[in-house]
Every structure is written in C-alpha cells, then in structure tokens.
C-alpha cells in the first residue's frame, strides 16, 4: 500500500472564497502537484503532472474573479486523471 500524501504547504494556498465548489487551490512547482479542496465534502485531492502554465492559468482565473469550479471541471478533472485523495 502506498504511503498517504501529505498536504502541500498551507502558507501557499489560494483560498477561493467566492467559489461554491472549492475551498482552496495549491501547487508544488518542484513536484508538479495541484491540490484542490472541495467545499461540499471537505476532501482534498492532489493531481499529478500538472504543468506550471496550467497552475498560472488557474491562479489568474481565480484572481480575475473567474470560476474555480468551471476551470476545474473543464481543464483539470478531464485532463489530469492521475490523482489521489489526501488522507491525514
């Protein structure tokens, strides 16, 4: 059994307060891991092999008032199929 993944550095989280879908997003540049926590379940997932440019686009979407949930459903969920739930 694989060891559980730990959450990424909480100091680097971007909270998505206006989102009805996500609580926060986070990214590890060195490991190319995107972390997303969902409001409805409180569960967090790490998506692997996410390039820096996708992270930058996601951050820009949030900062410009766009929808975190729409971005996730269009550009993360169908593309990055290697992921794990974080269990702490």
Q: What is the pLDDT of residue 38?
A: 97
Nearest alpha-carbon partner for 85 in 48, 43, 49: 43
Look up residue 79 and give its two tokens. 């593309």
For 8, the token pair is: 């990424």
Q: CB of 34 within 8 A of CB of 50?
A: yes
Per-residue pLDDT for 88 more than 80?
A: no
Q: Which residues contact 78 (CB under 8 A, 6 or more apart)?
A: none
pTM attached to this predicted model? 0.91
- Radius of gyration of the chain from its Cα atoms, rounded to whole angstroms: 12
Query: Hey, where are the domains in the chain?
Result: 12-85
What is the per-residue pLDDT across 21-71, written as a single tens digit (0 to 9) for each? Answer: 999 999 999 999 999 999 999 999 999 999 999 999 999 999 999 999 999
């Amino acid at each position: 059994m694989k060891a559980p993944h730990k959450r990424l550095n909480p100091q680097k989280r971007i909270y998505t307060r206006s989102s009805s879908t996500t609580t926060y997003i986070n990214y590890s540049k060195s490991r190319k891991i995107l972390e997303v926590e969902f409001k409805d379940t409180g569960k967090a997932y790490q998506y692997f092999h996410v390039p820096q440019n996708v992270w930058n686009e996601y951050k820009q979407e949030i900062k410009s008032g766009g929808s975190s949930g729409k971005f996730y459903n269009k550009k993360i969920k169908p593309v990055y199929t290697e992921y794990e739930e974080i269990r702490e």
